């Protein structure tokens, strides 16, 4: 779980940076009093908000959990950051927040809006950094493929034309830190992730890198697109104004139809209420209504729900 991963990260950091004082704290972003307690004691200057449920099919099956963690959790982080005068807040977002076809992406889009709305309303250096998949991160396809290759195959690819943006962990971290230092707040930064990579090519390359031959030593099978998946992702909505920044791999996009102020507050309150009541179809309807280009309703429910 999270605790062991944080523990591993701390051990690694202690080894690399023995002179830096590290204080790992385990807490739930949904627990506002706990967050206030942590912030009042440690008084951070910069907050990177990356706490989110990000597994797409899992969130299609646990919609209430996506709402409370990704939306309520973000609202809490924004509130304590304002209350304790945080200098900079950077929310980590995803390409799945654009024209979302899944609940996870939709909740991240609303989280983005809350951060940007707070930045503009309170004149704070709160911003959003949006990017695609990170190679080797939790739930990433590469460790899965490696496991499948090690056990003799088959390697499972959802669709021959499935494509995704990828970058490595060091690249992503570096660009997030760079973007964090830019601008006075209210900006959405998008990382240049190059060309989208075909997942099938990635699978074939990994098999070859393991010293084996695709389709001869290791079979590749296509399992079908999962609910909430697109064949390819976008990093911004069409027609958005994209500006360059002082860094060649970081762009800034101007908001156009972001929900803000009272309408945003009302939508968030309603979503949290529906989440508490377990009104899943009403949640999906409301998300589709308020997010531009959203098409969650057209996504078939995950197969596992067929058991219910």
Which positions are catalytic?
96
CA 278 to CA 308: how far, in whole Å?
A: 15
Segments of the chain assigned E as strands: 46-49, 88-94, 125-131, 133-135, 155-157, 163-164, 166-168, 188-191, 197-198, 220-222, 242-244, 250-253
Structure tokens at 207: 């098999």
Q: Where are the alpha helices (DSSP H) in 17-163?
A: 32-42, 56-61, 63-66, 73-83, 103-122, 141-150
SS3 content of the chain, % helix, strand, coil (to 5): 45, 15, 40
Structure tokens at 261: 């102020």
């Amino acid at each position: 779980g999270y605790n062991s991963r944080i523990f591993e990260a701390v051990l690694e950091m202690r080894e690399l940076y023995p002179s830096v004082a590290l204080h790992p704290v385990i807490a739930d972003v949904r627990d506002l009093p706990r967050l206030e307690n942590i912030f009042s004691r440690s008084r951070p200057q910069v907050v990177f908000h990356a706490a989110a449920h990000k597994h797409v099919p899992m969130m299609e099956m646990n919609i209430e959990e996506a709402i409370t963690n990704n939306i309520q959790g973000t609202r809490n982080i924004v509130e304590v950051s304002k209350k304790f005068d945080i200098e900079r807040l950077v929310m980590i977002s995803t390409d799945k927040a654009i024209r979302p076809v899944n609940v996870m992406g939709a909740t991240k889009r609303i989280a983005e809006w809350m951060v940007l709305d707070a930045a503009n309303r309170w004149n704070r250096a709160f911003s959003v950094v949006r990017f695609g998949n990170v190679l080797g991160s939790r739930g990433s396809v590469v460790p899965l493929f490696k496991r499948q290759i090690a056990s003799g195959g088959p390697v499972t690819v959802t669709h021959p034309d499935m494509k995704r943006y990828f970058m490595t962990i060091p690249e992503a971290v570096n660009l997030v830190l760079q973007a964090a230092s830019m601008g006075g707040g209210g900006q959405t930064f998008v990382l240049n992730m190059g060309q989208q990579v075909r997942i099938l090519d990635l699978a074939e390359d990994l098999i070859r890198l393991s010293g084996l031959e695709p389709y001869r030593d290791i079979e590749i099978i296509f399992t079908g697109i999962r609910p909430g998946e697109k064949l390819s992702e976008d990093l911004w909505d069409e027609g958005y104004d994209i500006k360059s920044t002082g860094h060649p791999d970081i762009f800034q996009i101007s908001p156009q139809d972001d929900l803000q102020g009272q309408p945003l507050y009302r939508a968030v309150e309603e979503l949290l209420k529906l989440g508490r009541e377990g009104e899943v179809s009403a949640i999906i309807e409301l998300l589709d209504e308020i997010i531009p280009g959203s098409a969650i309703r057209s996504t078939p429910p995950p197969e596992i729900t067929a058991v219910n």
